Amino acid sequence: MASTVHDSALFRDWFSSAAMREVFSDERLVRAYVEVEVALAKVQGALGVIPNDAAAEIVTRCDGGKLDLAKLKSETDLVGYPIVGVVHQLQQQCGEAGRYLHWGATTQDIMDTATVLQLRRALEIIDCELGTFARHLAGLAETHRDTVMAGRTHLQQALPTTFGLKVAVWLSMITRHRERLDQLKPRVLVGQFGGAAGTLASLGSRGLEVHDALMAELGLGLSVAPWHSARDSMAEAVNFLALVTGSLAKMATDVMLLMQTEVAEVYEPFMPGRGSSSTMPQKRNPISSEFIFTAARAVRQDAGLVLDSLAGSDHERSTGPWQLEWIAVPRAFLSTAGALQHANFLMSGLIVERASMRRNLDLTGGLIVAEAVMMAVAEKIGRGTAHDHVYAACRAAIENRTTLLDELRKVPAITTALDENALQRLVEPANYLGSASAMIDRVLAEHRTSLGR
């Protein structure tokens, strides 16, 4: 019976994705435990640490799909960890050869390495979703490189910009996240095999030989030392997700603000009924953006949990903080997958209202380009004096409900410095975009480079 939004029949596809739920399902986790146990027996047989014929029996007869999960639950309820129950059932599958299962390993070795196998697949999903999202953003940035809109600081109109540059800034974050993902994989996708207290003493002088062979068999990186109580790689993985979802939430926040009735510059993709109200027929709520924002806050809380696990891991094997990861790691990946799913839907069909952007640019009667006028006048009479004259003209335009151009025409110092044609050019927002287009080109070039990484 479902009890969380991640497995709820009603909410699960809003808060997660089917692909990520499968990665962190009980069935996939138990199969990962078995995969590690079988790989360990296989390499130990090849190295002569256990009889090779016993290893062959283990490889042939172990079947994670045949484990009785109800029975495994009963043993887990008793022991507190699932590996004892897994080994018991595998031993029954293997007969006499089963006595060589789990040779020299400890529970945490199997569980940590199985988790890393899950993370490998989970990060592949994240990488794919990020790549798709980056392509959506790149398309929007190119399409709207010349779509002029009001740039806003402190929630107030500041200077003209383009919607293409706004999207390019979003894209630059995603490009960096994809680079971070490439960089963290060698640190995170590292298996664990250290034995009871991290020394592999039960294997005598052959501990590292078995360790290295096991990781090669599983396709994982080598650990230079046991990380039973050194949890920085797990913390890095989840905090990476917090960075990704934080960036998605920033974009979602921008979209929500731009969707306000009084702004109306963009809209989420239209589908009949999506984001509607049960009582107000006119409503078109930013529902995907809201779920992205919610998921990001949840992931940030999980990032804090894994940092607690990192900080509280005592001595060679900790007394509890490790279990925090059992809660936080799957949940963070599920939430991130949900956020990316919404983000891809959002940007794949984002509706951009150019007419509303132009209307809002004109709301202040030219005040948004006051800096352009000031800088041009400053070349003639100095910046300080120019600032004072343009500032006074702005105040007059606000008080008199006139345009900036009307008030500039009343200032002799300004009309002496600039003729009418120059003033009209300066008060057109499209003429004051600086390096916006060149910046878009740089971001898009970086994006194209990242596609071939």
Sign for the pseudo-dihedral over CA of 107, 109, 110, 112: positive
For the chain, give the percent of residues with pLDDT over 90: 89
58 contacts 34 by C-beta, under 8 angstroms:
no
| pLDDT band, very low/low/confident/very high, at 317 (cuts 50, 70, 90) | confident
> What is the pLDDT at residue 281?
63
pTM above 0.85, yes or no: yes
- Find all residues with CB under 8 Å of 402, minimum gap 6, and list them: 365, 396
177 contacts 184 by C-beta, under 8 angstroms:
no
Q: What is the pLDDT of residues 204-221, one digit of tens each?
A: 999 999 999 999 999 999
For the chain, give the percent of residues with pLDDT over 70: 97
Number of helices and strands (H, E) in the chain? 19, 4
Catalytic residues: 154, 277
Asked if the model's pLDDT at residue 280 lies above 70, the reply is no
Q: How far is CA 251 from CA 142, 215, 245, 296, in A?
A: 17, 39, 10, 11
> What is the pLDDT at residue 278?
63
Q: What span, in angstroms and rounded, lies between the C-alpha atoms of 364 and 358?
A: 11
Long-range contacts of 70-79 (CB under 8 A, 24+ apart): 72/30
Asked if the model's pLDDT at residue 31 lies above 90, the reply is yes
Q: What is the pLDDT of residues 251-265, one digit of tens each?
A: 999 999 999 999 999
> What is the pLDDT at residue 319?
82
**Average pLDDT rounded to a whole number, residues 8-14:** 86
> What is the pLDDT at residue 277?
60
Q: What is the pLDDT of residues 430-444, one digit of tens each?
A: 999 999 999 999 999
* CA end-to-end distance (rounded Å), the chain: 43
- Find all residues with CB under 8 Å of 8, minimum gap 6, and list them: 2, 15
Q: What is the pLDDT of residues 48-107, one digit of tens each?
A: 999 999 999 999 999 999 999 999 999 999 999 999 999 999 999 999 999 999 999 999
Token couple for 131? 């790549």
Eight-class DSSP state of 48: T
Asked if the model's pLDDT at residue 345 lies above 90, the reply is yes
Question: Lowest mean pLDDT: which of 41-55, 88-102, 306-320, 321-335?
Answer: 306-320
